[in-house]
Every structure is written in structure tokens, then in C-alpha cells.
Amino acid sequence: MVYNKSMKTKILIMPKEAILDPQGRALKDVLTEAGFDVEDVRIGKVVEIESASPDKIKDIVENYILNPLIEDYQIL
């Protein structure tokens, strides 16, 4: 009997600091107009991968998910 144990991994993907974030800027403006004291808002995404090979997650992210010109990532 073969037992394949998979693991869930979450990856946080955010725009690089030098890249403009128009969605984040729009939300910041709305929050500021609503009276909230907000200095900055950045909008990114979370990707959840379930895999039996968690040691390959970095390769998956860097080769298939991430746009390295405009995004940074962090494995959570």
C-alpha cells in the first residue's frame, strides 16, 4: 500500500515596493475619505498549494506563479 501524505502551503504574493499598486491606492483613498488614518495599502494575493512534494514549492512559485519583474513572495 502506498501512502501519499500531502501538505498545504500558503504563499503570499505582493507587488514589489517600487511598483505602483493602483488597487491599493484606490482603497487607501476610499478609507482616507471615510475618516480612517491609513498611511498605505498594498493589495496582493495568497496562493494555497496542496502537494506531496512541499520541497518543490519554491520552484513551483518561481517558475509558474510569480512574475519576478513586479512581484515578491513569501512562503508562509
pTM over 0.75: yes
CB atoms inside a 10 Å sphere around CB 54: 15
Q: Which domains does the chain have, with CATH numbers?
A: 7-75 (3.30.1280.10)
Output the pLDDT for position 65: 97
60 in Cβ contact with 11 (< 8 Å): no
User: What's the CA gap between 5 and 3, in Å, rounded?
Assistant: 6
pLDDT in tens, 15-49: 999 999 999 999 999 999 999 999 999 999 999 99
